Structure 1
Amino acid sequence: MNKPKVCIMLSTYNGVKYIDEQMESLLVQHEVDVQIIIRDDGSSDGTVRKLNEYAKSHPDQIRFIKGENLGVIGSFFELMCQTEPVYDYYAFCDQDDVWKPDKLSRAVTKLQLSQLNVPLMYCSSTQMVDQDLNNLSVWPTLPPKPLSMYNAMVENCCVGCTMVLNPIAFEQVRGSIPSDLNPIIMHDRWIYLYVSAFGEVIFDEEPMILYRQHQGNVLGGSNEGWLMKWKSRLKRFLSEGSFRLSRQASVFLETYKDQLSAQQQRDIRRFLNQLDNSWIKRIRYASKMPFYRHTSLDNLVLKLIYILKKV
């Protein structure tokens, strides 16, 4: 029996410090035929030299593309465009994590359980670790609410480096990437939004990667008091940039208006149009909007930033 062919799309940028650990964990994946396409996004350290060595030593498994600097969003979408639609599954990968040996085989098994002929996406919790791979905490935990478009429009709970797509999801997203990427908050948020709107998202609460946290990007706050959690969430949501959620929603509606259901179109339009109404009407809409985040606190912050026209 042939092993499933999985293409891993890896974007790198000045990642020489941890790239060996990541690459070795990709090359020892169990029970799948792994092909790795790497795009370097203009590194100035030793990343390119290191990756050229891997490509030379694994010519049948690794394809290396030395690209110009596009930023993380542009680099991953360019990777999708550079990847031929000939594989059984497609995975995204960051440069400094470590994958468990059965990450891909577990994802494939769960995707195969779905008999639906629709876009499918697997994602999982991560074991967050420090720079030396010491365990910190598991994040994100199993979402308590449905993984639907109504969540994906205002929140991302699918970590990009855990995502694995079936061919339908890969080809449909790849074939409709917007020409202007500025309104897109992040590539994984866009893909989660697409699959949740038109297919099915499968969340695995078993952490399948060691997700390295650096100074400045550590997630957490589990020891914070309620007031500090509120303040930190409000600050984080506002720091996403005014109107980024609404800008992305607007582009999504324009891109897929012919595919979205009539109800989906109405709900997205109302989300956008109510922002131009009086603050009283914004309060009324925010109190009963169909869009939601998973925790009660995050949901309250969503309503607040909507009323303040900061979405």
Structure 2
Amino acid sequence: MKKSQILRWHVNKSKVCIMLSTYNGVKYIEEQMESLLAQHEVDVQINIRDDGSSDGTVQKLNEYAKSHPDQIRFIKGENLGVIGSFFELMCQTEPVYDYYAFCDQDDVWKRDKLIRAVTKLQLNQSNVPLMYCSSTQMVDQDLNNLNVWPTLPPKPLSMYNAMVENCCVGCTMVLNPIAFQQVRMNIPSDLTQVIMHDWWIYLYVSAFGEVIFDEEPTILYRQHQNNVLGGSSEGWIVKWKNRWNRFVNGKNHFILSKQAKMFLQLHKDQLSAQQQKDIQCFLNQLDSSWIKRIKYASIMPFYRHASLDNLVLKLIYVLKKI
């Protein structure tokens, strides 16, 4: 790190590294970048990795990097996909900051997004992995408000939820140094077994630390046809129709069990005896008779927050499509 950069930071401000992955995002990237640079009460470093864009994204980001040489680091990479790109960003980010945030390319952050996260994280002084995440204000392409998503989860944000559901939006996540370094040092070798980078991080922190959920929306989460992933403003009928179609087409088959198996293999020695037992049972019972699967599904400790989602979870477990 440059000495000039260290001197630039104010002693009384937290140093936050924002990790931004881009891909053909020139249409909205300027609004996103301006909102990052406008964050107040924190010192911001922005590490950007472009994942092989073919539009004007690289040119636009090079302009920002040249105009903010001490604040922005830009890397032009080959196409790895969203999971690989974010994990590569973590590997290329030095573990020298107070906090680490993830960022998408087409949203707009509220000016107090980072200081709000930092303040809540600082309330917990325990020496464990910590992660902050929040609700988002979903907006259309022109930033008109749609709805708030996700809402405050009604049940604990534990490993027993994270194993089967992700309720933490990646672009709202902020990690403390322990969480960042531990995840960074244990990135899975086979990313095809990982559903999404933010889901994996939620799973890790919920298993070994604490997740802090802020029900106050901290970003304008833009919904448009080019979104890679994101929340949905559609009605529940359309949402469940889409889920059913994905299930019938096999797109979501076995993704939970594959990720659970990878997590157990990678972190078995760190998990408590009870955690190991519960994950192993979750995997082993899939090979039992359908009667035993029904029995296990009815009492398993893993859960989703919504009652209907939880019912579907049990159904796909019995059908061995989890």
TM-score relative to the length of structure 1: 0.96
The correspondence for 2:270, drawn from 259, 263, 286, is 259
For residue 232 of structure 2, the aligned residue among 211, 214, 219 is 219
Matches of 2:25 and 2:188, distance apart in 1? 28
Q: Cα distance, 1:232 vs. partner?
A: 4.5
Paired residue type of 2:134: S
Question: CA offset at residue 153 of structure 1?
Answer: 0.3
Give the CA deviation at 1:241. 2.2
* CA distance, structure 2, for counterparts of residue 121 and residue 14 of structure 1: 29
Structure 2 residue matching 1:157: 3-state secondary structure: coil
SS of the equivalent of 1:11 reads strand
Give the structure 1 partner of residue 256 of structure 2: 245
Name the counterpart of 2:170: 160
What's the offset of the Cα at 1:159?
Answer: 0.1
Residue 150 of structure 2 is matched in structure 1 by 140
Root-mean-square deviation (CA, aligned residues, Å) is 1.4
CA distance in structure 1 between the partners assigned to 2:93 and 2:220 by the alignment: 25
* Aligned counterpart in structure 2 of residue 176 of structure 1, from 161, 177, 186: 186
Task: Give how far 1:2 is off.
Answer: 2.1
1:193 to 194, 203, 209: 203
Change (3 A) 1:8 1:97: same
After superposition, residues 1-311 of structure 1 pair within 5 angstroms as: 1-215=11-225, 219-222=232-235, 224=236, 230-235=240-245, 240-311=251-322
How many angstroms apart in 2 are the aligned matches of 1:235 and 1:280?
Answer: 26
CA distance in 1 between partners of 2:61 and 2:71 (Å): 12
**Aligned AA for 2:320?**
K
Distance 1:298 1:115 in 2: 34
* Contact 1:233–1:301 under 8 Å retained in 2: no
CA distance in 1, matches of 2:226, 2:303: 27
Q: Is the 8 A contact 1:6 1:34 kept in 2?
A: yes
How far apart are the structure 2 equivalents of 1:187 and 1:157? Answer: 13
Q: How many residues align?
A: 308
Distance in 2, matches of 1:283 and 1:247, equals: 20
Residues 206 and 237 of structure 1: is their aligned pair in 2 closer, same or farther, counting only changes over 3 Å? Answer: farther
Rounded Cα–Cα distance in structure 2 between residues aligned with 1:240 and 1:220? 21
**Contact conserved, 1:122 with 1:164, CA < 8 A, in 2?**
yes
Q: Moved runs in structure 1, 4+ residues, more than 3 A?
A: 228-240
Q: Is the 8 A contact 1:230 1:297 kept in 2?
A: no
Match of 2:24, SS state, is: coil
Opposite residue 257 of structure 2, the aligned amino acid is S
Give TM-score, length-normalised by structure 2: 0.93
Q: For the residues of structure 2 that align with 1:87 and 1:30, how far apart are their CA atoms? A: 17
Instruction: Please give the alpha-carbon distance, in whole angstroms, between the structure 2 residues aligned to 1:142 and 1:216.
Output: 27
- Displacement of 1:281 in angstroms is 0.6
* Aligned residues with identical type, % of pairs: 83
Deviates more, 1:240-249 or 1:82-91: 240-249
The CA distance in 2 between the partners of 1:109 and 1:283, in whole Å, is 45
